A and B are shown apart, each in its own frame.
Chain A
C-alpha cells in the first residue's frame, strides 16, 4: 500500500491549517514554522493516514498539538502580549472581507476572548468544521465544544457592543 501523498494532503488542508495556526499563534511566520513541523510529522504518519476516517480532524489535531508544543517551548512568556497584538494582524493577513469597509473590530474582539473559545469559533465559522470535528481536533466532548462556542460568541457580541 502506498503512503498518502503529502503534497495532495497539503492541497486539501495546508492553507486552512496555515490560517488556523496563524490566528492561534498570532504570527504568520510562526505558523509557517509550525506548519513545516506538522507536515514533517504527517510525512512520518503517511502510511497510517490511509486508515484514518476523518482526515481533516486528524490533521488539524496534529496542527493543534504542534502549535501548543511550540507555544510551550518558545513563547510561553510572550503569549499574552502576542495574542493581543499579533492575533489581530494575523487575522487581517489571513482573512479578507467579502464586503467593502470591513468591521475589523471583530478581529480585535477575537483577540480578547479566551484562546480555547477563539479556536473553536475560527474552526467552525471561518473553516467550516462541524462541532463533532472540532471535538475530535481538541480531544474534548461535543457538549464542551458547543458550550465553549456559545460562550465565545456571547463574549464576542458583548465586546462588539462595547466597541460601538
Chain B
C-alpha cells in the first residue's frame, strides 16, 4: 500500500496549468455559434409557421361559414323549422294572449275552448299544407 500512496503522491505533485489565454472566449463563442446554427425556429421557419397558422385559421373560419350556409340551405329544402321558429302551441299561445288582452271579460272555459279550437285548426292546416319542393320532385320523378 506504501507504493499506492507513492503513485498518488506522485500524481499530487502535479497541478493544473494556468488557464489558456482566450480559451474561455473561444469555447463560449463556439457554443453560441452552435446554438445559433441549431435553432429550431430559424427566421424562415418562424415566418412559415406564422403563415401556416394564419392559413389554418382562415380555412377553419371558411369551413365553419360554408357548412352553416350549407346546413341552412338543406333545412330550407327540407323545410325544417329553423332554430328559433315557434311551435304550434306557442303560436296559439301568442294568439290567445292577444284575445285575452282584447277581451279581458271573456269566460275562462270559453277561452280554453277557443284555445283548443285554434290548436286544432293549426294542426289540420299543418297536415294539409303544400308538399315541399323535395317531395314534389320525388313524386314528379
- Which residues 44-68 of A sit at the B interface, judged by CB distance below 8 A? 44
Q: Does B108 contact A (CB under 8 A)?
A: no
Q: Does A160 contact B (CB under 8 A)?
A: yes
Q: How far is the CA of A38 from the CA of B34 in the complex (A)?
A: 11
B31 touching A126, Cβ below 8 Å:
no
A36 touching B31, Cβ below 8 Å:
yes
Which residues of A sit under 8 angstroms from B23, Cβ to Cβ? Answer: 14-15, 18, 32
* Secondary structure of the A contact surface, majority rule: helix
Interface size on B, residues (CB 8 A): 26
Minimum Cβ distance to chain A for residue B38 (Å):
8
Most-contacted residue by chain B among A18, A39, A95, A99 (CB, 10 A)? A39
Q: How far is the CA of A94 from the CA of B15 in the complex (A)?
A: 9
Which residues of B sit under 8 angstroms from A106, Cβ to Cβ? Answer: 7, 10-11, 14
B10 touching A160, Cβ below 8 Å:
yes
Q: Does B51 contact A (CB under 8 A)?
A: no
- 1/0 per residue, CB under 8 A from A, across B17-53: the answer is 1011001101110111011001000000000000000
Interface size on A, residues (CB 8 A): 41
A43 touching B6, Cβ below 8 Å:
no
Q: Does A78 contact B (CB under 8 A)?
A: no
Which residues of B sit under 8 angstroms from A96, Cβ to Cβ? Answer: 14-17
Q: How far is the CA of A27 from the CA of B7 in the complex (A)?
A: 24
Q: Does A1 contact B (CB under 8 A)?
A: no
Q: How far is the CA of A39 from the CA of B24 in the complex (A)?
A: 10
Q: Does A139 contact B (CB under 8 A)?
A: no
Q: How far is the CA of A157 from the CA of B27 in the complex (A)?
A: 36
Which residues of B sit under 8 angstroms from A109, Cβ to Cβ? Answer: 7
Binding site for A on B (CB under 8 A): 3-4, 6-8, 10-17, 19-20, 23-24, 26-28, 30-32, 34-35, 38
Binding site for B on A (CB under 8 A): 6-7, 10-11, 14-16, 18-19, 32-33, 35-40, 42-44, 93-99, 102-103, 106, 109, 121, 125-126, 150, 153-154, 156-157, 160-161
